[in-house]
Amino acid sequence: MDEQIAGVRAFNRFYTRVIGVLGAGMHNTPYSLTEARVLFELYGREEAETGELRGPLGLDAGYLSRMLTRFETAGLVTRERSAADARRQVVRLTEEGRAVYQTLDKASASAVRELLDPLTEERRRRLLSSMAAVQRALDPAAPPESYVIRPLRAGDLGWVVHRHGVLYGREQGWDETFEALTARIVADYADGRDPRRETAWIAEVDGEPVGSVFCVRRDDRTAQLRLLLVEPSARGMGLGGRLVEECLTFARAAGYERIVLMTIAVLAAARRIYERSGFHLDEEHTERAYGTEVTHQTWSRDL
């Protein structure tokens, strides 16, 4: 934990320096980051009660009151008692306050543009995806992420092999022979694929791959579902079931009459997805594989 704490603090020091919030004012103005945030909250609405400002920003009532007094003295806001409840205070931006906010907003956008300009498109994509991941991890109230399911593109096959090796090594303790098996499956797919009857998909969240599934030929009548994977960060979104449904839809359209899959009994979450998708267990046997003892299962369903 101590190393993790040190890592977070190091990132905080780096990022506050990058975005320039250590100085007395933002973008060579007399306004602090907190003051700019209050102006932002007021800019988006005609009026706001002080309690509505404190909540989202986590501000102390006394601190906010002193800030609004400075704003009022500078002609940026007006304050008056609420007509509905005299105990409450209503705050509005003046035209001068709106102009100050617009100046800050343009300066902030310009600073971000300068930050992004030197980066390649790929590095920008990775940066924004990482920022979104930090926000999701730290904000339990964040809404569920949306996802995209797309065909394979360059680099995806390597990602599938890598993530199978990493995740099953970490979660199940399987050794490198499982990653080797995944690599053989992927290589066979790439070398001999019939695009009319075989395909694969990658699921993405915020531009980053988080899942995969392959539909390949077992024989003329039978398709096989392979390499279903959902990253831990994307579990609970219904993504596994959606990937399986994508595979079933393709298999029907490709003319298969039946589809099979092989899995390991310990993978309970995957088993539940298969059951909900109409698969039934055909047979199972236990053997030593991937550095441990596993129970292989074969599941199938008609199309």
pLDDT at residue number 31: 78
pLDDT at residue number 143: 57
0.75 exceeded by pTM: no
Question: Where are the domains positioned within the chain?
Answer: 2-118, 148-302
Fold entry, domain 148-302: Aminopeptidase (3.40.630)
pLDDT at residue number 51: 75
pLDDT at residue number 134: 80
pLDDT at residue number 59: 78
pLDDT at residue number 33: 79
pLDDT at residue number 78: 85
pLDDT at residue number 61: 79
**Rounded to an integer, what distance in angstroms lies between the CA atom of residue 47 and that of residue 244?**
49
Domains 2-118 and 148-302 share a fold: no
Distances (CA, A) of 6 to 2, 9, 13, 22: 6, 5, 11, 20
Q: Any idea which architecture 2-118 has in CATH?
A: Orthogonal Bundle (1.10)
Q: Which residues of the chain have pLDDT under 70?
A: 19-28, 83-87, 140-145
Could you write out the three-class secondary structure of 62-107? HHHHHHHHHHHHCCCEEEEECCCCCCCEEEEECHHHHHHHHHHHHH
